[in-house]
Each structure stands twice: as structure tokens, then as C-alpha cells.
Amino acid sequence: MEWETSLENLKKRIQQLKKKRPGYKEILNFYQKIREEQEEVKPSLKIKSIPLKKEWKDLLAKEGFSLLEKKDFPLDINASLTLFRLLCEIGKKANPRMAEQVEKIEEGIDNKKMDLNKALTGGFEEGKIEKIAKEFGLDKTVLLFLIQESIRPSIEAGTKKLLNELNAEAWLKGYCPICGSLPSLSLLKDAEGKRFLLCSFCGYQWRVDRFFCAFCGNKEQDSLHYFCGEGEETHRIDTCDKCHQYIKTIDARNIEIIDPVLEDLATLHLDLLATQKGYRRPAPSPWTP
Ligand SMILES: [Zn+2]
Ligand SMILES: [Zn+2]
């Protein structure tokens, strides 16, 4: 699993992608800056352990329930808020729309009216963040993006603590066994092309059948198709004609995947094609709304 991304390898891959697709230069620079800050906080994160009782775990697995809810992931709130301010700085220079939003956010925080500490106490809840966005007249996608990227190191550290609790090959369902979220990507791995799904929230990867729509459970080969971009056999769009939804698949047998989210971000043109063909993406990453 790609749990220990080395920043150096990540930067190399970003360099390659920028050369290959110059149109993505700006967004890839932005991505790199944010990933650099996230990597920086990782070594000093303080994350509580997540207690799981065996009986409880077995019961959940039997009933098909995931282990946690999003808000159950322990957060290092101080580290997340420090990161939040750093990401705001990066956002300010990224583009005018982001800059305008960040200014409003900083104003809210500096007036002590916007209390993100309080909002994150008790864990991440989308509803709470959306409420703040509404209260302060903010674009909720921007605020959610900044918050989610600020807590990402905490969330991933929590997921890492749970890796030994689960068998990634046994679950086989269309939603994450840890947090119940939908997958944002699918990955083909090993010589035999085992298929894994990547959780859009916690980053966990679990195995599913090759012919399977994660969103409606469809297993009929006749209605499951895929298409690639030109000259891009490693990245493709898997469509389902039953629910008219799609997932992006990265074939990790031919390329080394340093960071699946990066690969996703650098192939937004495939999402555009899928949308034009009338398919919907149920669970984008915060990077690909
Ligand atoms: Zn998850
Ligand atoms: Zn489907």
C-alpha cells in the first residue's frame, strides 16, 4: 500500500505530469505545495488510538456495517488548525476565487467569531462545516476542501492504526469497511489485476470483484464498460449502464502509483469525457469536485 509516500518521489511524479500535460501545471503546483505542508506535520502528529472490541468488530463485519463514522476519527486539532492556516496562505496565492474566500475566512477567525477548534472537537462532520460556511457567507466547497486537507494527516494516521484490524481482501463491498464512505477511485494491482477501491475519505483500500459497480452493485458484464483517454491505457473510466455512474480506474500494473489522488487530479480530462457521455461521479475527492 502507498502509505509512506516519499515527498521526493511525489515531486518527481508531479514533474513528469507537468511535462506530459502542461495545461495542468498550475493545479499541480498547488497540489504539491499542499502535500509538502501535509507531509511536514506528519511526524509530530498526536493521534489517540481507536479502541475496537473484537465482538463488536465481528458483528459489524457480519452485518456489513463499517467500523467507524467520519466523526469517530481522532484528530490532532492543534496540528490541523496550524495546517489550516498554512493552506489558507497557499490558497491565497492559488487563484482569485480561493483568495477571496480565504480573506473572508481569516476575517472570521481573527474576529474570533469563527471557531474552527470548536467545530472540529468531536470529530469531522460535514454538516457542521457547511453551517459555518452558511453563517459566514462562504463557498462551502472551498471551506470543506481546506478543512478536509487540514485534517487529512490525522485521518490517514487513524486509518493506518486500523490496518491490522481488517482483511482488505475479504470485505468486497462498494463502500469502505472502515468509515462507510464511497470509493473515489479504483486500482488494478498485481500480475493478475486484482481490483481495489480507494476510500474517498480515509484513504483505505479494499479489494472487490473485477466486474462490479461499487455504486449499485451491478455485476453484469454486458452493462459494465470502460474507455481510456488517447494514449493513456493506464488511466480509464469504468462506467455502469444500470446506474449511469462511473469510477476512474488506474492500472497500477504498468505504472508505479506514488499517490492515487495525484493521478486522479492529473486526469480531469477523463472526468470531462465521462460527464459528456452522461455519466456521474458519485464520490469525487476534495480535489475533483
Ligand atoms: Zn474510509
Ligand atoms: Zn452501477
Question: pLDDT tens, 132-150?
Answer: 999 999 999 999 999 999 9
Q: What is the mean pLDDT of residues 164-169?
A: 90
Q: For 190-231, how does the pLDDT look when each residue is reduced to its tens digit (9 = 90+)? A: 888 999 999 999 999 999 999 999 999 999 999 999 999 888
Distance of CA 133 from the midpoint of ligand 1 (Å):
24
CATH of the domain at 236: 3.90.1670.10
Instruction: For residues 12 and 144, state if they share a domain.
Output: yes
The pTM (predicted TM-score) of the whole model is 0.94
Total domains present in the chain: 2
Q: For 46-93, how does the pLDDT look when each residue is reduced to its tens digit (9 = 90+)? A: 999 888 888 888 888 788 899 999 999 999 999 999 999 999 999 999
Question: Per the domain annotation, does 2 fall within a domain?
Answer: no
Of the three residues 106, 138, 165, the one that is the final residue of a domain is 165
If you average pLDDT over every residue of the chain, what do you get?
93
| Separation of alpha carbons 163 and 81, rounded Å | 26
Instruction: For residues 41 and 160, state if they share a domain.
Output: yes
Question: Per the domain annotation, does 1 fall within a domain?
Answer: no
Structural domain boundaries, residue 213: 168-289
Residue 210: predicted pLDDT: 94
Cell digits of residue 236: 480509464
Of the three residues 137, 165, 193, the one that is the final residue of a domain is 165
**H-only helix segments in the chain:** 7-20, 25-41, 54-63, 77-94, 96-110, 116-120, 126-135, 140-162, 260-265, 268-276
Instruction: For residues 35 and 80, state if they share a domain.
Output: yes
Tell me which residue has cell 453484469: 220
| Separation of alpha carbons 196 and 205, rounded Å | 6
Residue 4: predicted pLDDT: 60
Distance of CA 119 from the midpoint of ligand 1 (Å):
21
Instruction: For residues 150 and 283, state if they share a domain.
Output: no
Strands 194-199 and 232-240: unpaired
Q: How far is CA 199 from the centre of its chain?
A: 7
Distance of CA 216 from the midpoint of ligand 2 (Å):
4
Q: What is the mean pLDDT of residues 169-191?
A: 95
Of the three residues 165, 180, 208, the one that is the final residue of a domain is 165
- Which ligand is located closest to the Cα atom of residue 211? 2
Closest CA to 201 of 122, 148, 125: 148
Instruction: For residues 155 and 222, state if they share a domain.
Output: no
Instruction: For residues 74 and 125, state if they share a domain.
Output: yes
- Which ligand is located closest to the Cα atom of residue 282? 2
Q: With 90 as the cut, is the pLDDT of residue 2 above it?
A: no
